[in-house]
Structure 1
Amino acid sequence: MTRLPTNADVPASDSALESMHKPPIATGIEGLDFILQGGLPAGRPTLLRGAAGTGKTVIALTFLCQGIAAGETAVFVTFDEAPEALLGHAEGFGFPARRYLAEGRLRILDMRPDRNEVQVGETIELTAVLARIGFALDSLGATRLVLDAVDGMETGFADLPSLRGELTHVFDWIRERAVTCLITVGEYADFSTRYGLEDYIADCVIALTQEVSNRVMTRVLRVVKRRGAAHGSNEYPFLLDRGGIFLVPITGSVLSAKVSDTRLSTGISGLDAMLGGQGPYLGSITLLSGQAGTGKTSIACSFARAACEAGLSVLYISFEESLDELIRNQRSLGIDLARYHRTDGGTVDGLGALLLQPVRAVELGLEEHLMRAIRSVRQHRPALVILDPISGLAARSRDPVAKEMLLRLLHLIKEEGVTTVATELLADDGSGVSHLDVSSIIDVWIKLRRHENDGEMNRLITVVKARGLPTSDQVKEFRMSRDGLQIVDPYVGEGGIVYGTARMARQTEDEETISQLHLDLERARQLRAELGEIQAANERLARAEHEVKTAALDRQAAEIERRLAAIERTRTAIGRGRA
């Protein structure tokens, strides 16, 4: 018979010393391993403390089952819940604990105190408990150990000093065994003085709390200490639901986003033209800011349709409209989202899948909203994420870190290489000022506003910024109708710029004015031509009169010259006769 691997034959001191130089052991919770810079200290005890409902047992089950899935074996020791209940919890989170148990890769030891069986005198005898645990570890060759709810032994001790002393012995025994152990314990106001574990015994301490703000609860994790290695020291919100534990080290994001030269159409030809002809870059962040009714959601849905038509997957997270509302409302504009909507993320006829996730902004805290968004992005790996409206999250929170949380959310999505389109609701005071204050990370910023004149409301659109794109600096009209979404150049006339029906009236007026001016111009030209003809006739008449007078004077001069010549000849003839 093959002998199971064991560390029972290794001297305790050697095992403990060797474990100090081993790499950390991953918990299987990506965010927690990131914070711990690899995982829990190998072969050492880690204390996980927190009040009821903070997720201690779930984290312990995840640590255990992820290790088993990776080929290890593990022992779970419970001092609180029944083994059957723990198996149900594990399977509820998708871990095949019963199969692991049947395969001999997992063992659950029920160590719930029973005063009639394990108590000797007035104290619990831990020697037998540790012997059972040690035998289970050796039998399985287990490398992972969980002691769940060790504070449940408190009822079996006459006083707390006795319990503290025994727990110190348990921690030393774990180090000697060189087994990676996670110990869960409840949280009390006087925890340090009550048990004396936090500051002196555990090699790593993780604290879980529940914070309630505006009647909304958020679970928070903090690594209090970790001997011999660095760790994240901030508070990190995390999710606990049917999907298990999800933790994003939001305060640990880095600027590592990859860039792309590929462009994504907005689905509106006029808007593409305003962005250089092809739309924004893939992987960029586009913010659509505007007052209520200016068409922010419709443009976002146009983005979604264009991406699906290009065969790309889209994740649409709506914080205000339900699924049916969104589909119905956009259908009136010719945008049929139902055609692309898929609940399983599959594709049909080469079209991209559209996954719609409506969730009311008031239902969850800001941190939980952000983590759910990140988890959805990592689960579904979409090419485009739409957050509509992102201002619905920040508007609910007066916390000064709300802006930082939104910035980190956008950073994290961008680091995944995902294109983001977010909408922002601006106040109706007409100032058009953004209160999110996240423009520093925005690549493309498009503003929409209402323009009211002569009893009519028109929608105007402009591109405030677009990094790396040759953009239009004009304010144009944005039209929404059954024929779809259109960008229309404003009418620029003699009286200025006009939009909407005023455009047609002004254009008609200007056309009439132009026609009249053309008539006046033709008349003036005709009069000018007639005046020229009169002038030419007068010149011809004057020239004729001049020629007649000149001819008469020429004849008169010639006659005089003839008479003078005749007189001169007569005188000359008379003079010769006298001579």
Structure 2
Amino acid sequence: MTTANPETAATGIQGLDFLLQGGLPRGRPTLLRGGPGTGKTVISLTFLCHGIRQGENGVLVTFDESPEALIRHAAGFGFAADRFIEEGRLRILDMRPDRNEVVGDYVELTAVMARIDHALQKTGAQRLVVDAMDVLEGAFSAEISLRGELARVFDWLRECRTSSLITIGEQEEFTTRYGLEDYVADCVISLKQDLDHRVMTRLLRVVKRRGGGHGTSEAPFLLDGDGIFMIPVTGSVLRARVSDEHLSTGIPGLDAMLGGQGPYRGSTLLFSGQAGTGKTSMAAAMTVNACEQGRKVLYISFEESVDELVRNQLSIGADLRRHTEGSEADRRLILQPVRAVELGLEEHLMRIMRSIRRHQPDLVVLDPISSLATRRTGDSAKDMLLRLIHLIKEAGITAVATELLTDDSQGVSHLDVSSMIDVWIKLRRHENNGEMNRLITVVKARGLPISSQVKEFRFTDQGLVIEDPYIGESGIAYGTVREARQSEDEQVIEQLHTELSRAMQRRHELDEINAAAERLARAERDTRALDIEREIAGIERRLANIQRARSAISRSRQ
């Protein structure tokens, strides 16, 4: 069985294959150079054993360490080199300097190549590793002879059509004098160690690769008992997975502040606040709720041990221990305490991402993420945190991070990563009249109808409780002042209701008096109007009588 790309030979190191756009050039020699402890042998063993697992037999030629030591190294990283040897899929040639291989005072490379060719033919190997070839440097009398012999070896490797990886030490005089990078190898990979703040980081760079593109940036990589793990610098295109599903925080009041259903799954939440404001408790509440919903959580604590974290969160009803039971594959909660000051930023990044890939969690908690930046200067911490958040978002995983703000920060975050944060929640202390209260504010929540109100939250043995602030005649009140203010206002309200009732009674009585007076006045007006009407009627009758009398006299005279 061969790798998917016929032009490349995958190394089995995902990040390195990404930089090489598939793997090492197939059928051609690659040079791997670096100083002691940079990981040359481990990368070589990984390349070789990965190929054997994929059906490509291999040959390992060592000029430095014994075959037994290399077999032990391979076993330490999970490669069954001894079994591969028994099955005839791997052969190790011990080419350490031996007087039998020397003509006069110098090495005869023809014999070396003959032994390698025999091993390749016998095993049918498609992969070859030549470890510590620079040991041959002292076996030549003149520089030009070494350069010529090395060129001959590399030409022969190309003719063999074997995917070869040759390691040499990082000796400036060696590479400069003999032009190994410029004239011999088809692909050159450089390894080095970088020391910053007394913390070492291993770095890898693809110097050149003939016949194909490659990543040009230095990429950190992790080397420990689990082997090589590497995360290359990602591209500039944002490819975060998007979900319309909501994930409850486990705190009803906080869900309500975030629109009622909680944040979107796959979003990133940041809890910022001073010491004692409840950041870890918020993260623990979300952790327990996610576990109870059947989701897997990876909780990375940078300041508390597992026992401390479990004990402290029990006081608010968050039983983390219950979800850590069972095998690693079955349990819902993985707790990983890590001392932030012991590792470099890049190593933290790689360890976190390796844990994420191993456990495949639905939720990742980083508590507190600010611990990774406390000792750092410049933009290195910001760059690392942005990369970490981007990688988690790209995987579609919900992330919860806490940030410790100093007392003199005035609530301002110094991480400068808010552009990558989907939900930003600030927690703060409110001290008044000898009492401290905890307040919560949603600064932003992308795509959610958030509450703009500053609310109070309390720790109880049943969890976190978020309450609306009391707004009375004298303004906003929290804590016991809130209760006292509310009690006072209730008494005032009761008194006002009594006074209002009395005033309304007086107004009713006055209305009745006014109504009675109105009725009496109306009666008087009606009586007076009736008398006037009678008077008018009497006058009109008299006038009518006089008019009739005059008319009668006038008729009688006629």
When normalised by structure 2's length, the TM-score is 0.91
Q: Is the 8 Å Cα contact of residues 195 and 201 (structure 2) preserved in structure 1?
A: yes
Q: Secondary structure at the match of 2:183?
A: coil
Which stretch shows the higher mean deviation, 95-104 or 509-518? 509-518
1:94 corresponds in structure 2 to: 78
Give the one of 141, 158, 171 matched to 2:141. Answer: 158
Kindly tell me: are residues 22 and 270 of structure 1, through their superposed partners in 2, closer, same or farther at Cα, counting changes over 3 Å? Answer: closer
Summarize deviations over 1:185-204 as a string: whole Å, max 9, x none. 00023343243201221111
Which stretch shows the higher mean deviation, 517-526 or 379-388? 517-526
Q: Secondary structure at the match of 1:450?
A: strand
Give the one of 377, 389, 407 matched to 1:398. Answer: 377
Give the one of 297, 300, 307 matched to 2:290. Answer: 307
Kindly tell me: are residues 206 and 549 of structure 1, through their superposed partners in 2, closer, same or farther at Cα, counting changes over 3 Å? Answer: closer
Whole-angstrom CA distance in 2 between matches of 1:289 and 1:461: 10
Q: Secondary structure at the match of 1:190?
A: helix
1:472 corresponds in structure 2 to: 451
Kindly tell me: are residues 546 and 94 of structure 1, through their superposed partners in 2, closer, same or farther at Cα, counting changes over 3 Å? Answer: closer
1:188 corresponds in structure 2 to: 171
1:64 corresponds in structure 2 to: 48
Kindly tell me: are residues 538 and 100 of structure 1, through their superposed partners in 2, closer, same or farther at Cα, counting changes over 3 Å? Answer: same
Kindly tell me: are residues 309 and 257 of structure 1, through their superposed partners in 2, closer, same or farther at Cα, counting changes over 3 Å? Answer: same
Kindly tell me: are residues 277 and 538 of structure 1, through their superposed partners in 2, closer, same or farther at Cα, counting changes over 3 Å? Answer: closer
1:293 corresponds in structure 2 to: 276
1:320 corresponds in structure 2 to: 303
Q: Is the 8 Å Cα contact of residues 253 and 408 (structure 1) preserved in structure 2?
A: no
2:348 corresponds in structure 1 to: 369
Question: What aligned pairs does 1:415-454 form with structure 2 within 5 A after superposition?
Answer: 415-429=394-408, 431-454=410-433
Q: Secondary structure at the match of 2:172?
A: coil
1:231 corresponds in structure 2 to: 214
Summarize deviations over 1:167-208 as a string: whole Å, max 9, x none. 222111111111110000000233432432012211110000
1:22 deviation in Å? 5.0
Q: Is the 8 Å Cα contact of residues 217 and 233 (structure 2) preserved in structure 1?
A: no
2:461 corresponds in structure 1 to: 482
Q: Secondary structure at the match of 1:504?
A: helix
Query: For this pair of structures, how many residues does the alignment match?
Result: 535
Give the one of 469, 473, 476 matched to 1:494. Answer: 473
2:490 corresponds in structure 1 to: 511
Q: Secondary structure at the match of 2:121?
A: helix
Question: What aligned pairs does 1:138-177 form with structure 2 within 5 A after superposition?
Answer: 138-177=121-160
Q: Is the 8 Å Cα contact of residues 308 and 314 (structure 1) preserved in structure 2?
A: yes
Question: What aligned pairs does 1:505-544 form with structure 2 within 5 A after superposition?
Answer: 505-536=484-515
Q: Flag structure 2 segments of 5+ consecutive residues without an equivalent.
A: 543-558
Q: Is the 8 Å Cα contact of residues 41 and 131 (structure 2) preserved in structure 1?
A: yes
The answer to whether 1:84 aligns with 2:57 is no
1:121 deviation in Å? 1.6
Whole-angstrom CA distance in 2 between matches of 1:195 and 1:468: 60
Whole-angstrom CA distance in 2 between matches of 1:173 and 1:453: 82
- Please tell me the residue identity of whatever aligns with 2:294: G
Kindly tell me: are residues 398 and 73 of structure 1, through their superposed partners in 2, closer, same or farther at Cα, counting changes over 3 Å? Answer: same
- Please tell me the residue identity of whatever aligns with 1:408: R
1:465 deviation in Å? 1.4
Which stretch shows the higher mean deviation, 218-227 or 290-299? 290-299
Question: What aligned pairs does 1:264-303 form with structure 2 within 5 A after superposition?
Answer: 264-303=247-286
Q: What RMSD, in angstroms, separates the aligned Cα atoms of the two structures? A: 2.4
1:244 corresponds in structure 2 to: 227
When normalised by structure 1's length, the TM-score is 0.88
1:160 deviation in Å? 4.0
2:19 corresponds in structure 1 to: 35
1:569 corresponds in structure 2 to: none
1:522 deviation in Å? 1.6
Whole-angstrom CA distance in 2 between matches of 1:134 and 1:208: 29
- Please tell me the residue identity of whatever aligns with 2:29: P
Whole-angstrom CA distance in 2 between matches of 1:107 and 1:445: 57
Whole-angstrom CA distance in 2 between matches of 1:231 and 1:244: 23
Q: Secondary structure at the match of 2:418?
A: coil
Whole-angstrom CA distance in 2 between matches of 1:429 and 1:462: 19
Summarize deviations over 1:206-229 as a string: whole Å, max 9, x none. 000000100100000000111111
The answer to whether 1:112 aligns with 2:101 is no
Whole-angstrom CA distance in 2 between matches of 1:410 and 1:250: 13
Kindly tell me: are residues 543 and 379 of structure 1, through their superposed partners in 2, closer, same or farther at Cα, counting changes over 3 Å? Answer: closer
Q: Secondary structure at the match of 1:151?
A: helix
